[in-house]
Amino acid sequence: MNSSLKREVRSRALERCEYCRLPERLSVPRFQIEHIIPKQHDGRTSLENLALACPHCNLHKGPNLSGIGPADGRVVALYNPRENQWVEHFRREGGRVVGLTAIGRATARVLAMNDQVLVEARANLIATGLLSVD
């Protein structure tokens, strides 16, 4: 992946995780550019298939394309930052990321967006003004 493509992905994402929306400037290590549709599922290395992800979200997403909806146990596609709007599928309640749709709930679950350490970190960042409530 060339440096120009990496810069475009970061710029488009406003330098924040496209899944949990944590700003990259508040993180060590640096965020990763991930394939929304993984290479192993014939996903391309193209701007349309790349997203900026914090290490936590990227690690938990892995090669997953779907998850099990916690409410009904059905298989549902995960949130796709190129096809879906974040505000339609998620909202923040304090430090928690709440799934508003089956896609949002399955994604929050698979990506473990509400691990206690992350919830506390987000709440502290919001309280100190380093993270907007969205």
**What are phi and psi for residue 124, nearest 5 degrees?**
-65, -40
Helix (H) or strand (E) holding 104: helix 102-110
The model's pTM is: 0.93
From the list 58, 47, 56, the residue with the least C-alpha distance to 12 is 47
Question: Could you tell me the mean pLDDT of each successive run of 10 residues in the chain, 134 residues long?
Answer: 94 95 86 96 96 96 94 94 97 94 97 95 89 73
pLDDT at 78: 98
pLDDT at 133: 67
pLDDT at 134: 65
pLDDT at 27: 76
